[in-house]
Structure 1
């Protein structure tokens, strides 16, 4: 290995700084890990320091030797620690030493990643997979050198920005988050906020995909934002066709069959013009992994300035390994939450529910009904459950309940929307929602809403 990939002098400098000024250990250990050391003797001595500190033992040459008499080479810990302490000019330069050690550790990891990528390329894997692995490997290194970042902040340092934000929201000069396009839902979730993972769950055919796509369309077509939709269930052509139906108010069946009426053509032209001008991007590749999704999303954000990300749906994301499915889905969920924080945008994640809710008297789903992993509910900032009871008259007429079962920044609740099936969209509910008594008794309220259509 090249000399430039490590610095024995800097590693000795770190160890010497601790020996000469033990009160620096907490700060040093927050910056440097055992794995950052290249020299095995230095790494072993640093580990002994960590063990002593954890045990509440003061760190000096004698206590280190008492904790561990010999290092991996067989050399006396007492002799090596004494030698290190004598050859460090001053503990005052520890930050410079730490930075050198961290930089060299990062360089070694980059070289190792390059070896892995080279081996992968030689295995004749698909080019897209090699590129995704390369991007993931380099992205994972982006935050390793964090010496320039503040580890903690005094509340008074944060307070001015928080007060300014509150004042801006009070004066309506700053939105609380992106609108969903549905008034009652916006009132509940108070906007889709940057860094949040919004889980939209539902049974098959409930309309969760309709809701997710509609929100993405609203952000891109009405709010002039940029959105990226990953669909592992539909083709990109199907997604765009649904967009035309939704935006133009055109029967989706007519678009599929080509049996358009004369008055459909102006609507189609108008919807096409809207989509032409929208920054809505779609990906319909099968077998996507989180690493690949992350790579594409980062690329899209750099080029287009991403505002929202949609994933349809989480259970179709391929796992990196073939171990326990629940654990793998949990890892995928946490990775998507981290992606939302990294990109600083709302990430809408669609999820299938199990059929446990169908056995309840009211058939209403709960966040715990999300299939495969409870980690999804735990990671989510907002959980919206799409509930349409097709055994009821109102459900057959498209009346759908959006249950906000979890929201970190507001109270849970629900609202009613009208699903217009032939236009693959939801609109705000114009009638009155059922009372609690009616829900419990299963009484019909389909006659109490306006504009209902059993074919919508």
Structure 2
């Protein structure tokens, strides 16, 4: 039995009335105290409703450039009809009389803010308990909902604010260090992107059969050389993903694997490639269907180790537990959530998306290179993405064009990769296939 098992269910929520009264008294006596308090807490952090009313009145006066004291705050409360609810003018003077020093106002405010966090945690715990007793709903979605409740506790706190120049020293230190960019599988793409950026969302889009899953799998393998990578496959089974990985790494035609017709050379190539594939911490799930399930699994994988990336193949087959009247609204909610997930876990998230048929319409029946407006179902895909890569492969069957059509942190450009169809992979022209027999060298 832990110490928490003996805590009564019914007890007074965490609060410190002395600290709250000291905060109120200090802001009525000192302008500096008012600034210290505003930087350390929010009006809603008070447990006593009257204290919240008083601080809101004081903030309103400050915003209008009016001095804050017991008289002006009393007048403001009277103006908005809240003076009686705040305890009257007498209570304001009681608070000022109880203050021994205004220098500790910031300290008292932090105590109030900490107690508010504890109360929010208690409230979140109660809601999570109710979720646990719920008889309906997907367990993964319930876990994600519980995690969201806890996350909301931390995000509700006051963060330190300041001018934009206040972060200049931190920026200077960052610039002195090597950038936290992870190389892509293709040097020519590195030339445009510089590498993959943690916290960014990358959309890989194209018409069916143009290489989206191929490119995503190569990216996943490259990043898995550095650490765990999550790969969510909504279109292919785990076995199909593995077959494509073997074809890429061992240079075995995919048709030989799918028809089970391997030559002696193929078996030998597979034996050579086996250690490379076996050593990769690439985690593939083909049983996840909702955003909540994907998010919950990604967070779990992240807690277990230094997760490097998440790949979702693909958006069109992903749904959400939260129902929306229209599909484009659901798409928008999901892309926004995946972008926030990338930032929360500080990893790149790769989201595959299909294109609509506008490109064919523009070409009068013949497919032409896609543009951003061809993204299917929602403009939020482009809005939430940090990078959008549009894939095209038509006239020249052995060339895969990658159009970096959006790049929030840098230039846009087009690159060409050599398309090796039998081995379902794209390679840099000057490298050829030898790069795919390399052993992972970045794991440690």
TM-score normalized with structure 1 length: 0.82
Counterparts of 1:69-108 in structure 2, within 5 Å, are 69=78, 70-71=81-82, 74=85, 77-108=88-119
Q: CA deviation at 1:71?
A: 3.0
Alignment of 1:47-86 (within 5 A): 47-69=56-78, 70-71=81-82, 74=85, 77-86=88-97
- Mean CA deviation greater in 137-146 or 229-238: 137-146
The 1-side partners of 2:401 and 2:33 are apart by: 57
Please name the residue that 1:399 is paired with: 399
The equivalent of 1:203 in structure 2 is 207
> In the alignment, what sits opposite 1:453?
none
Matched residue SS, 1:310:
strand
Q: Match for residue 349 of structure 2? A: 347
2:307 corresponds to which residue?
Answer: 306
Structure 1 pair 315–61 and aligned structure 2 pair: CA distance change class (3 A): farther
Q: Which moved more, 1:324-333 or 1:6-15?
A: 324-333
**2:130 corresponds to:** 119
How do residues 412-451 of structure 1 correspond to structure 2 at under 5 angstroms? 412-429=412-429
Deviation, structure 1 residue 41: 1.3
1:124, CA displacement in angstroms? Answer: 1.7
1:329 paired with 2:326, answer no
CA distance, structure 2, for counterparts of residue 27 and residue 293 of structure 1? 42
Q: How many residues align?
A: 415
Runs of 4 or more off by more than 6 Å in structure 1? none
The answer to whether the Cα contact below 8 Å between 1:176 and 1:190 also exists between their aligned partners in 2 is no
- The answer to whether the 8 A contact 2:140-2:296 is kept is no
RMSD across aligned positions (CA): 2.8
Offset, 1:64: 2.2
| Counterpart Cα distance in 1 of 2:134 and 2:238 | 31
Q: Deviations over 1:95-139 (max 9, x none)?
A: 222222222222222222222222222222444333333233223
One of 150, 155, 165 as aligned partner of 1:138? 150
Question: Following TM superposition, by how much is the alpha carbon of 1:252 offset from its aligned partner in structure 2, in angstroms?
Answer: 2.0
Listed as ranges, the matches of 1:262-411 within 5 Å are: 262-290=264-292, 292-323=293-324, 324-361=326-363, 363-389=368-394, 392=395, 394=396, 397-411=397-411
Higher relative contact order (CA closer than 8 Å, sequence separation 6+): 2
How far off is 1:150 after superposition? Answer: 7.3
Compare 23-32 and 100-109 and name the one that shifted more.
23-32
CA distance in 1, matches of 2:273, 2:362: 41
Farther-moved stretch of structure 1 (376-385 vs 154-163): 154-163
After superposition, the Cα gap between the structure-2 partners of 1:85 and 1:334, relative to the gap in structure 1 and judged at 3 Å, is: farther
Q: Is the 8 A contact 1:41 1:72 kept in 2?
A: no
CA distance in 1 between partners of 2:29 and 2:184 (Å)? 59
Q: Secondary structure at 1:330's aligned position in 2?
A: helix
- The alpha-carbon deviation at position 145 of structure 1 amounts to 5.1
Partner of 1:225 in structure 2?
Answer: 227
For 1:36, the equivalent position in structure 2 comes to 45
1:38–1:258 Cα change, 3 Å: same
Unpaired segments ≥5 residues, structure 1 = 166-173, 432-456
Distance (Å, rounded) in 1 between the aligned partners of 2:332 and 2:35: 33
Shift of 1:160: 4.2
Alignment match, 2:27:
18
8 Å CA contact retained: 1:385, 1:405: yes
Query: Is the contact made by 1:64 and 1:77 (CA closer than 8 Å) also made in structure 2?
Result: no
User: In 1, are the aligned partners of 2:256 and 2:262 still within 8 Å (CA)?
Assistant: yes
Deviation at 1:407, TM superposition (A): 1.5
1:204-260 deviations in Å (ceiling 9; x for gaps): 22211211111111222xx44331112222222222222112111222222222122
Q: 1:33 to 1:154 in 2, by over 3 A?
A: closer
Contact 2:45-2:116 at 8 Å conserved across structures: yes
Please say if residues 20 and 85 of structure 1, whose CA atoms lie closer than 8 Å, have aligned partners that are also in contact: yes
1:175 and 1:46, CA in 2 relative to 1: closer, same or farther beyond 3 A?
closer
Structure 2 alignment gaps of length 5 or more: 1-9, 432-444
- Relative distance call for 1:137 and 1:90 in structure 2 (3 A) is same
Q: Is the 8 A contact 2:53 2:86 kept in 1?
A: no
The 8 Å contact of residues 136 and 295 in structure 1, kept in 2 or not, is answered as no
